[in-house]
């Protein structure tokens, strides 16, 4: 392994990008991490500590002494502290908060007034707020301080801290007037409210085409800004969560999480899946007598279930995406349901004919062929309807359909598939 | 529906963001799109046309006359033309290219020298290139032109167009020297090569913490820059593709794509799935005699298959993510395989005991209980090994494991699960 580490460290020194160190640590087995970590410069350690996944950070905290952790936390910015606040032990969090200076601690407390699902919790506090009273020439001098990344506007506030206008940096640079800033205000302020839901706010920033939007409270006081960088990170995390949850990974798992952590994390989902699998088995159990007499039904069961599952997931994915983009309303849901039923029906007809034909040639039974064809058609129609309706129902129950829709849907299509197939078999084949 | 449209248009006018109009069009049934489209200002139409999904754009092109399409295409930037080039009919593409001015057409041709999987195809050509010979004061005057979004550096080139240095805009603003630009060059140039693989380049920009990186050819000639915005879009599209492909959606489907388009798009995947399902059925078929005598095996089959499928998907997802982040090497794959086998084994032992116990109480048969317990354990071990090895094999074959790994994996776990379960059943229960 010493050789692996050498290879990895060589790659690291070539790329020279602090944030990649976090990924490299994660790529190492747990017992090798500390020795590589110790080779990092202090600043890199700090950046990597904030940047790494929760699982990796937790393993590192366990390996380091509390004093070493305190050293890492002592010089973090408020943004970093907010980012890792929910993911580090409370004794470390307390220390990190204590180490902030007064103004930063105020910003931390401001962020805590918003839940982690609200945009107000995740603001960027880099320098962008200026007084509306400034003369243009004085504002131009402020540019000398340097611009933070993702800055194309200054946000002007009045004495009370109320956001009164946005000033485009490019107009500011080009202007040579002695006027007050107000003459440069953009005709309209596009802004977010701190209580706006985080993913919706992220979508809004991305769609706005701006690099950041100002965020205000109920009384229009300027709180900070929300950058397109954070917005993309939010969107990406939402998608990653969706991919993970579709696979049955409940929390952010690290490549080299301990066997115990990984097994526990995944075991929970295996347990949930087991419940739904036994539920399906229970339904199949009602048809034991039929299965005994027509064993071909048992042979073909997976075909009915998996076609329904795939078809339902297709509809579900299209609908969940539409919901995430705010495209689905009460009104167009009915139109969508009709459309999806038509798609399910059309594919149902085509594939039930194909499957019926294969079954006929395989088992030489027209009745069995009819039974499976009907079961496929009905299951694909059920799958289409479920794919539209399950997310709607989950949404009403405040459950995220992107995360739990899939397991519920396949439970439905499995059970309907088995019951219809074996039920029709009992009626027509016995 | 007139009411829906009124609601949607009202929302549109409130948000005032041109890019959202594309989403709104997609949220409308196809026969309503044209009447809403006609109400958009020309500039909004142009932005929305580029921004919308391929399916939506195709439906719109079909509804509009060629002259109307030409009007939309006549004033596009080269970036926009490159973005939609693969997705519009060739007569429209030809017109769009013809409408570019000479310098833009050269950039279009430059982009065509790189494949769509290479970063050189997707560059940003906004104004960031300056001559290395400039005096600092002249370069400062260039700021008056205004900065493009995502600009924090100018890229300095020599007479031959070779990238010789990057100049941080903030240092440029603050500097008051009469020196040449070279005194402001950053100590190191972090740059990409035009032939770099697109997703790797995207990851590099995101990790670099910069808003954009310069891109050069083999001879270090400056080609353009790659912004973090494009990088995030690439990453997002990759993830969306992964979500879609996991659900069996082969191309970018629009919410209101015609029934025929949707049915065809999804039917292909249903067909592939049918092959794998029948393959599983074929294996089950070998055990017809066993199933006839021990019908409880048929009842419990879904439990064995679904536990293996879930467990394998969990491993696969962790591995695919690690591969996307460049964390998996030849060396640590073996360590990972061992780890995943331990996780699979641990969960295998736990859940085989649980499942064995439930089976014992349900069917009152110690032998059946033993058979299913062993089958679960073996299938979970197979699933773990497959989850690590299938992506490695696909990668060697140049097949993207994020897209096709899942269907191959569940085929393996289904077949292994059925064969082990029914095979053990034949040995121990007959």
Q: Do B23 and A247 touch (CB under 8 A)?
A: no
pLDDT score, position A252: 67
Collapsed DSSP state (helix, strand, coil) of residue B178:
coil
Q: Do B295 and A298 touch (CB under 8 A)?
A: yes
Residue B365: pLDDT over 70: yes
CB-count exposure of residue A14 (10 Å: 0-12, 13-18, 19+): exposed
Percent of chain B with pLDDT strictly greater than 90: 66
- Residue B180, phi then psi, degrees to nearest 5: -80, 165
pLDDT score, position A207: 83
The encoded tokens of residue B161 equal 């167009």
**DSSP H or E segment with residue A318:** helix A295-324
Q: Do B300 and A291 touch (CB under 8 A)?
A: no
Closest chain B CA to residue A262: B343
pLDDT score, position A19: 67
Q: Do B26 and A248 touch (CB under 8 A)?
A: no
Whether the CB of A135 is below 8 Å from some CB of chain B: the reply is no
Distance CA B310, CA A373 (A): 28
Q: For residue B411, name the pLDDT band (cuts at 50, 70, 90).
A: very high
Q: For residue B157, name the pLDDT band (cuts at 50, 70, 90).
A: very high
Closest partner residue to A307 (CB to CB) among B173, B273, B350 is B273
Residues of A in contact with B414 (CB under 8 A): 302
Encode pLDDT of A302-354 as tens digits: 999 999 999 999 999 999 988 888 888 888 899 999 999 999 999 999 999 99
Selected for mutation to probe chain A from B291, B314, B316, B321 (highest A CB count within 10 Å) is: B314
Beta-bridge partners for B224: B215
Encode pLDDT of B188-224 as tens digits: 888 999 999 999 899 889 888 899 999 999 999 999 9
Residue B128: pLDDT over 50: yes
Residues of B in contact with A270 (CB under 8 A): 307, 310-311, 347, 351
Q: Specify the higher pLDDT residue, A40 or B379.
A: B379
pLDDT score, position B19: 67
Q: For residue B428, name the pLDDT band (cuts at 50, 70, 90).
A: very high
Encode pLDDT of A165-188 as tens digits: 999 999 998 888 788 899 999 888
Average pLDDT over residues B47-52: 89
Find residues 386-415 of chain B whose CB sits inside 8 Å of chain A: 414
Residues of A in contact with B196 (CB under 8 A): none
- Give the domains, in start order, of chain A with CATH numbers: 2-114 (1.25.60), 129-237 (3.10.580.10), 259-429 (1.10.357.20)
- In the DSSP assignment, the letter for residue A329 is -
Whether the CB of B116 is below 8 Å from some CB of chain A: the reply is no
Residue A10: pLDDT over 70: no
Could you tell me the CA-to-CA distances from B372 to A99, A161, B279 in Å, in that order?
57, 68, 22
Residue B14: pLDDT over 60: no
pLDDT score, position B178: 81
Distance CA B274, CA A256 (A): 36
Residue B388: pLDDT over 90: yes
pLDDT score, position A394: 94
pLDDT score, position B188: 84
| Edge-to-edge strand ranges of the sheet holding B153-157 | B129-131, B153-157, B163-168
Q: For residue B297, name the pLDDT band (cuts at 50, 70, 90).
A: very high
**DSSP H or E segment with residue B215:** strand B212-216
Q: For residue A215, name the pLDDT band (cuts at 50, 70, 90).
A: very high
Average pLDDT over residues A214-222: 96
The encoded tokens of residue B288 equal 């017809």
Distance CA B356, CA B364 (A): 11
pLDDT score, position A18: 61
| Segments in B223-294 forming alpha helices (H) | 228-247, 259-285, 288-293
Distance CA A400, CA A208 (A): 25
pLDDT score, position B261: 87
Q: Specify the higher pLDDT residue, B294 or B255.
A: B294
pLDDT score, position B23: 83
Closest partner residue to A343 (CB to CB) among B263, B314, B325 is B263
Beta-bridge partners for B192: B215
Q: For residue A8, name the pLDDT band (cuts at 50, 70, 90).
A: very low
Percent of chain A with pLDDT strictly greater than 70: 95
Residues of A in contact with B387 (CB under 8 A): none
Residues of A in contact with B342 (CB under 8 A): 259, 263
Average confidence score pLDDT of chain B: 90
Interface A-B: count of C-beta contacts within 8 A: 301
Q: Computed from CA positions of residues B333, A245, A82, B201, in that sequence, does the dihedral angle turn out positive or negative? A: positive
Residues of A in contact with B331 (CB under 8 A): 1, 3-4, 7
> Does residue A21 contact residue A9 with C-beta atoms inside 8 Å?
no
Q: Computed from CA positions of residues A127, A104, A230, A62, in that sequence, does the dihedral angle turn out positive or negative? A: positive
Could you tell me the CA-to-CA distances from A111 to A115, A190, B70, B163 in Å, in that order?
8, 21, 50, 43
pLDDT score, position B11: 47
pLDDT score, position B13: 46
Residue B387: pLDDT over 80: yes
Residues of B in contact with A46 (CB under 8 A): none
Q: Specify the higher pLDDT residue, A232 or A22.
A: A232
Q: Do A29 and B332 touch (CB under 8 A)?
A: yes
Q: Do B256 and A336 touch (CB under 8 A)?
A: yes
> Does residue A25 contact residue A52 with C-beta atoms inside 8 Å?
yes
Q: For residue B132, name the pLDDT band (cuts at 50, 70, 90).
A: very high
Residue B343: pLDDT over 90: yes
Encode pLDDT of A70-107 as tens digits: 999 998 999 999 999 999 999 999 999 999 999 999 99
pLDDT score, position A11: 47
pLDDT score, position B17: 63
Average pLDDT over residues B286-291: 96
Q: Do A331 and B4 touch (CB under 8 A)?
A: yes
Highest mean pLDDT of the ranges A293-297, B47-51, B250-254: A293-297
Residues of B in contact with A329 (CB under 8 A): 4, 7-8, 27
Instruction: Select from B5, B50, B2 the least CA-distant residue to B27.
Output: B5
Q: Do B317 and A244 touch (CB under 8 A)?
A: yes
Whether the CB of A186 is below 8 Å from some CB of chain B: the reply is no
pLDDT score, position B155: 96
Q: For residue B321, name the pLDDT band (cuts at 50, 70, 90).
A: confident
Find residues 298-357 of chain B whose CB sits inside 8 Å of chain A: 298-303, 305-307, 310-311, 313-314, 316-318, 321-322, 325-329, 331-332, 335-336, 339, 342-343, 346-347, 350-351, 354-355
């Amino acid at each position: 392994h010493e050789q692996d580490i050498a290879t990895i460290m060589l790659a690291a020194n070539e790329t020279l990008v602090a944030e990649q160190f976090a990924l490299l640590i994660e790529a190492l087995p747990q017992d090798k991490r500390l020795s590589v970590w110790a080779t990092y410069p202090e600043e890199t350690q700090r950046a990597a500590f904030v940047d790494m996944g929760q699982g990796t950070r937790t393993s590192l905290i366990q390996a380091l002494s509390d004093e070493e952790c305190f050293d890492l936390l002592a010089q973090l910015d408020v943004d970093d502290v907010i980012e890792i606040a929910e993911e580090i032990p409370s004794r470390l969090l307390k220390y990190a908060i204590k180490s902030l200076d007064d103004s930063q601690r105020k910003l931390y407390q401001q962020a805590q007034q918003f839940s982690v699902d609200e945009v107000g919790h995740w603001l960027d506090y880099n320098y962008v707020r200026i007084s509306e009273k400034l003369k243009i020439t004085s504002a131009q001098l402020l540019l000398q301080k340097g611009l933070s990344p993702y800055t194309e506007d200054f946000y002007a506030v009045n004495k009370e801290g109320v956001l009164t206008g946005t000033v485009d940096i490019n107009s500011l640079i080009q202007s040579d007037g002695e006027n007050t800033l107000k003459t440069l205000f953009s005709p309209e302020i596009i802004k977010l409210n701190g209580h706006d839901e985080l993913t919706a706010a992220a979508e809004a920033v991305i769609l706005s085409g701006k690099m950041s939007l100002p965020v205000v409270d109920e009384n229009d006081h300027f709180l900070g800004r929300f950058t397109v960088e954070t917005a993309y990170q939010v969107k990406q995390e939402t998608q990653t969560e969706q991919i993970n949850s579709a696979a049955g990974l409940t929390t952010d798992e690290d490549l080299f999480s301990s066997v115990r952590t990984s097994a526990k994390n995944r075991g929970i989902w295996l347990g949930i899946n087991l419940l739904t699998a036994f539920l399906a088995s229970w339904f199949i159990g009602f048809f034991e007598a039929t299965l005994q007499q027509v064993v071909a039904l048992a042979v073909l069961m997976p075909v009915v279930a998996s076609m329904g599952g795939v078809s339902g997931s297709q509809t579900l994915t299209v609908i969940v995406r539409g919901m995430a983009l705010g495209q689905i309303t009460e009104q167009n849901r009915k139109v969508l349901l009709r459309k999806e039923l038509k798609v399910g029906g059309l594919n149902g007809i085509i594939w039930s004919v194909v499957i019926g034909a294969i079954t006929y040639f395989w088992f030489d039974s027209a009745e069995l062929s009819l039974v499976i064809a009907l079961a496929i058609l009905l299951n694909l129609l059920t799958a289409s309807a479920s794919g539209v309706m399950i997310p709607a129902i989950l949404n009403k129950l405040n459950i995220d359909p992107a995360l739990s829709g899939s397991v519920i849907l396949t439970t439905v299509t499995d059970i309907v598939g088995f019951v219809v197939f074996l039920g029709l078999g009992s009626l027509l084949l016995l």
